[in-house]
Amino acid sequence: MTKHAPRSHEPVHSRRTFVRNMALGAALVGGGAARALAAELAEATKGGERKLGVALMGLGLYSRGQLGPGLRLTKTCRLAGVITGSREKGEAWSREYGFPEKNIWNYDRIHEIAGNPDIDIIYVVTPNGLHAEHTIRSAGAGKHVICEKPMANSVSDCDAMIAACAKANVMLSIGYRLAFDPHHIELDRAAREKDFGALTRLSGEDSWRFTTRAWRIEKALSGGGPLMDVGIYVIQAACRAAMAQPVAITARELPKTRPELFNEVEEAIEWTMEFPGGVACRGSSSYSRNNNFFLAEGDKGWIRIEPAFGYGGLEVTTSRGPLSIPPVPQQSLQMDDFASCILTGRQTPVPGSMGRDHMAIIEAIYRSAADGGRRVLVQRA
């Protein structure tokens, strides 16, 4: 589930697949992004077909502040319902967004959505530890699924989610909004086209100061601390820049400065990812400071995004000077792209298999940190 300080079924394991997905993202969003995606969306909705209906499952901060407003800007999908534990909250959403009250469901009634033609997509925005159950039940209702990151609390849960969506013949996508942001698309392009030579030295951090007790620091619901919450963005950026999955991890958890608050999860953690060909990334994430950047260095220069992982305000600088890149509505592009995938049969560039790969990396980081920094191999599917 996404939080930030102010500020399908096809496996994705090979270098070839990473390059293909990066190229697809660039075609949709980078450079002539908007034009390319707009053309596909126009074709997909030619003839006046209705917009695909999205039901948001979980009406917390991210749904309120980002997904709901983002759905007002989408071209091929619309907010058509909600799934919530509060009928009162659902009715407020119904009034604000104009969908009928019959399209308000409780979590224990997800199966009833199967008979509702208004809903095509369920966007799972509940706490991490509930993602597997809610994705599987959504697929069982015959609906396509976007699951917010991190995909789940374990690789085994990710596997079960992928299998359930495959069995139901529905698409599964992970809420990786930054795959549709032109600042990160520029990083992808620079890596692919070797603007700064082969990128071999990578580093990044995503941290914010967490001050109150909430589900994000309860192990059963969160799966972990800042690594699961925001450190995953560093992992995602590194895999794109390296155009591969890491083969091994070394990591260490930093001493806790507020052990009374972080008594179930880490407060801060550092790790190194080893990629094929000698590429390495040093990453870190903390709940005790505010910092977010990503740097990729090659033998001909460097590219840096800072801020790198927020909903807006991202900036790209390079060894040749700053780049001027207009902002985009990340969530709107993300949801429009998934709707377009459904309408056209195109594979999503952020499938469940990608979320599963990133969970395997997170598990390796935690195993290494728990074992005193021992080098740990990343599990393959």
Q: 145 φ, ψ to 5°?
A: -130, 130
**Longest distance between any two alpha carbons in the chain, whole Å:** 60
SS (H, E, C) 119-141: CCEEEECCCHHHHHHHHHHHHHC
Residues 293, 3: Cα–Cα separation, whole Å: 16
Cis peptide before 100 (omega within 30 of 0): no
Phi then psi for residue 249, to 5 deg, are -135, 140
* Helices marked H in the chain: 15-29, 33-44, 61-62, 68-71, 87-97, 131-140, 155-168, 182-193, 219-222, 226, 232-242, 330-344, 352-370
Mutual angle of helices 155-168 and 131-140, in 10-degree steps: 10
What letter represents residue 97's amino acid?
Y
**Residues with a known catalytic role:** 149, 233
Nearest to 325 by CA among 221, 182, 214, 202: 182
Structure tokens belonging to residue 17: 């697949």
C-alpha separations of 244 from 97, 200, 374 in Å: 41, 12, 22
d(CA 127, CA 60): 10
Please report, in angstroms and rounded to a whole number, the separation of the first and last CA atoms in the chain: 24
